[in-house]
């Protein structure tokens, strides 16, 4: 029996903004298309090191060309204030602003 994988997408609404979550296959291509169709000042991608290892950084970078990447080391130890500070420093260095899009890709 063949397994059919579908994509699950949902929107979470907060008083000041809304955000989306997507789980499924073919999402890298969706991200590439979405960044082109929206009017963001820049797009920055935070990605888990295991995702890069499993899916290949060359594939991700070729599909999401002209985007900046920040690879987070995997593991519970990385979930710290120090890691957040490094990420914020990277976003500052990449000249991210309030109209920038930040996408997190995790495992």
C-alpha distances (whole Å) from 4 to each of 7, 21, 58, 81, 106 are 10, 20, 26, 39, 22
Coil, helix or strand at residue 81: helix
Read off the pLDDT of residues 16-34 as tens digits, 9 standing for 90 and up: 877 777 777 777 777 767 6
Q: Which residue has the tokens 């890069």?
A: 52
Q: Which of 102, 96, 99, 103 is nearest to 40 (CA)?
A: 99
pLDDT tops 60 at residue 4: no
The pLDDT assigned to 3 comes to 47
Our CA angle for 11, 16, 19, nearest 5°, is 25
97 DSSP β-pair partners: none
């Amino acid at each position: 029996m063949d397994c059919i994988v579908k994509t699950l997408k949902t929107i979470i609404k907060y008083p000041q903004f809304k955000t989306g979550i997507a789980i499924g296959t073919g999402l890298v291509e969706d991200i590439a298309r979405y960044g082109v169709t929206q009017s963001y000042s820049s797009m920055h991608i935070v990605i888990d090191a295991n995702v890069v290892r499993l899916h290949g950084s060359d594939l991700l970078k070729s599909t999401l060309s002209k985007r900046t990447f920040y690879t987070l080391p995997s593991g519970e130890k990385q979930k710290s204030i120090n890691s957040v500070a490094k990420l914020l420093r990277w976003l500052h260095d990449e000249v991210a602003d309030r109209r920038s899009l930040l996408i997190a890709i995790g495992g």
